[in-house]
Structure 1
């Protein structure tokens, strides 16, 4: 069974982790397929990542992947591949949304942190259990302290324990009952898919710039991005449409 399923739903690409019998644990092929799924064309305005089954969103990497790493070189090649996937997700030129139900652990938690928006259910829990396996939490686990603060990030990483979504304020856009997960995600999609591809790409580039530079450099990049959006005809069209909508409300 293919562990990653992709379908197009109008301007939304829906990506589903689909190996519920193993709690959607990730394989090397899954990392490749996810990277392809988050590489989007001009007609896509958002990507939604969800998972099959109720036991777990994703248990992280399949432990067999780690057991198969026989050398430092193989370990480096694996983690570099994961880093490339997370970079692709984080810098995707569209809004990325995660719908999380059940346990979200390890590499899956990093994948979720790399996305823009997260909606979780009341039975969702997040954790980075790598330290229990004798390996460190790395790559986009570095983002965790920005969501929960350094003290809580250290607790989550050093204990390796799962924490209920409701206890991790700042990570999720919303925490809802399981039956409300799909409708809440669709509400978010309705708000973000009407934006132009030009502005989505510009805003996503700025998020990455702000993440990796100081205030002064970020402000300079902001000026450049603002000016360059006016080179796209769709910017003028969007402005005119917005102005017309305002006029119709008077």
Structure 2
């Protein structure tokens, strides 16, 4: 594993799949400011690498990808330092959301608060069979903020309201039924489930996937007519990459 910084380890394979491991944040991968900044810097550095086709984000232990934000650090904050702290966490989540290639969150164990906000900013969430999820912030006197704003879009207003206002945890089958995660792996099968999704993404045109991710991000913000009209130009531009010509011809040749 290559260490980009003390909090960010990277493994690359020949297919263009990169695994980013969050390191040195304790067994539950609790994020304080140094880890938040380290992982964000790692994501921003990797974002410039056009060879990356899929990014998998994992924790160093199998207890968690990101357990949550560091309560010991947050307990000492005042208004100004609280805003600075949460801006750092926002920038980390946004680095995943803005990452040009697809991002898979590998989610064993616990995923709470800031960890779930980060996971919501990833493209795919693949959970262990015994994973648990929650937004406990209101129990410690703060609201859930920043990329918790993605939750109503993912799971609907009622379920998002339940998570952020009751602070009750949900298990993996519930998270799957709600649409909070995409896949729940069988016992011992988390890496196989991640690999299955990686394999599906590698079957797709890398430039097409990057264009699709960018479009999805814009569709979240734009009115419907603008979303529809904007995508016409993106469709045209895809023919400049050579991918449609190559992949469509391959499809036609297979059909013969």
TM-score by length of 2: 0.88
Q: 1:96 to 1:246 in 2, by over 3 A?
A: farther
Shift of 1:217: 0.7
Deviation track 1:78-126 (CA, whole Å, cap 9, x = no partner) reads 2222222222211211111111110101111011111111111121011
| Residue of structure 2 in register with 1:4 after alignment | 8
| Residue of structure 2 in register with 1:154 after alignment | 161
8 Å CA contact 2:25–2:35 kept in 1: the answer is no
Shift of 1:142: 1.2
| Residue of structure 1 in register with 2:121 after alignment | 114
SS of alignment partner, residue 16 of structure 1:
strand
SS of alignment partner, residue 5 of structure 1:
strand
Structure 2: which 5+ runs fail to align?
Answer: none
1:58 aligns with 2:58: no
User: 1:101 aligned to 102, 108, 127, which one?
Assistant: 108
Structure 1: which 5+ runs fail to align?
Answer: none
| Residue of structure 1 in register with 2:150 after alignment | 143
Deviation track 1:105-150 (CA, whole Å, cap 9, x = no partner) reads 1111011111111111121011111111211101111111223221
8 Å CA contact 1:198–1:235 kept in 2: the answer is no
TM-score by length of 1: 0.90
1:225 aligns with 2:234: yes
1:236 aligns with 2:240: no
| Residue of structure 2 in register with 1:212 after alignment | 221
User: 1:36 aligned to 9, 23, 41, which one?
Assistant: 41
C-alpha RMSD of the superposition: 1.9
Give the number of aligned pairs.
246
SS of alignment partner, residue 47 of structure 1:
strand
Q: 1:65 to 1:246 in 2, by over 3 A?
A: farther
8 Å CA contact 2:31–2:70 kept in 1: the answer is yes
Question: Hey, which bits of structure 1, 4+ residues long, moved more than 6 A?
Answer: none
Q: 1:231 to 1:54 in 2, by over 3 A?
A: closer
8 Å CA contact 2:57–2:105 kept in 1: the answer is yes
Deviation track 1:176-205 (CA, whole Å, cap 9, x = no partner) reads 223111111101101102433321221011
